[in-house]
Amino acid sequence: MDNKEESINFSPVIIGTMRLGEWGVKMTNNELERFIDECVELGVIDFDHADIYGHYSSEGEFGAVLKRRADLRQKIQNTTKCGIKLTTKRRPNFKIKSYDSTKEHILASAENSLKELGVEILDLLLIHRPDYLMNPHEIAEAFQLLKKEGKARHFGVSNFTASQFDLLNSFISLKTNQLEISILERSAFENGTLAQCLKHGIVPTAWSPLAGGSMFGKAVSSVKTRILLVAEELQQKYNATLDQILLAFLRKHPSGIIPVLGTSKIERIKSALDSQKINLTHEEWYELWQAAIGEEVA
């Protein structure tokens, strides 16, 4: 299925909301409003949610700002995810953590996300993780109904393998696969998922693009040491910071990987945007790759 028609246009970086609330810095309503405004001023209009974030509280906190600031609703794009059932006091009926991609659950989750976010339509709805009991017919029916009712514009998946993506994409047009991709998590470069994005003309989005911050901590490893030695030379050449080099490594791939940033700091977002100016050479990219794997390519 060709996914080039009616594609979704992402901003250069996407803001992940997982750590803005209960699971992270616990922004107040005013702090969150100011943060959203500052992102929009930078041209960063994409915000990535999931129903489970903050034990089912983050969407509502974000939505409280949008309900107060109706003007912001027209300026931003909201992605949200469903399909994980999380055990929490806010969902007392969930006995264990599990996956659920049934039509009934998708529709109920989408309705709840619309209510929590205070919007009339979801710009992008993703299945959060592949459900071992996934029925592509049911998912397609749910997505088609949400589209018909004007409750969601686009659909995609997160953490899907190439074969799982192909299966679902044969029933309903998918617009992205959100994957863990970084200098330390390189499987997408080799397992066919990025090649698949190129094939279908869709843009992959990368969660944890800076390896969860592990490249910046004090912990020492041989892999980290090798990468930092190469990165330091590149930082000097491009007058760049480490995070910018690591993001440039992802952006070099022709699929056009868009990083999902889990930061609440505007300066880090500005730095990420500036990384677009860096165009690593092929050799420089492979220098980083070689440092990561510990040997030259075959």
53 carries an active-site annotation: yes
Residue of 53, 56, 238, 286 marked active site? 53
DSSP bridge pairs for 179? 206
CA distance 244 to 271: 7
14 with 156: CB under 8 angstroms?
Answer: no
Let me know the angle formed at the C-alpha of 264 by 241 and 272, rounded to the nearest 5 degrees: 30
Q: Residue 44: left (phi > 0), alpha (psi -120 to 50), or beta?
A: beta
Which element (helix H / strand E) includes 156?
Answer: strand 152-158
Phi then psi for 278, rounded to 5 degrees? -95, 120
CA 2 to mean position of chain CA atoms: 22
- Residue 131's identity, in one-letter code, is D
Nearest to 113 by CA among 46, 62, 70, 147: 62
Q: Are strands 98-99 and 84-85 parallel, antiparallel or unpaired?
A: antiparallel
Give catalytic residues, as residue numbers: 53
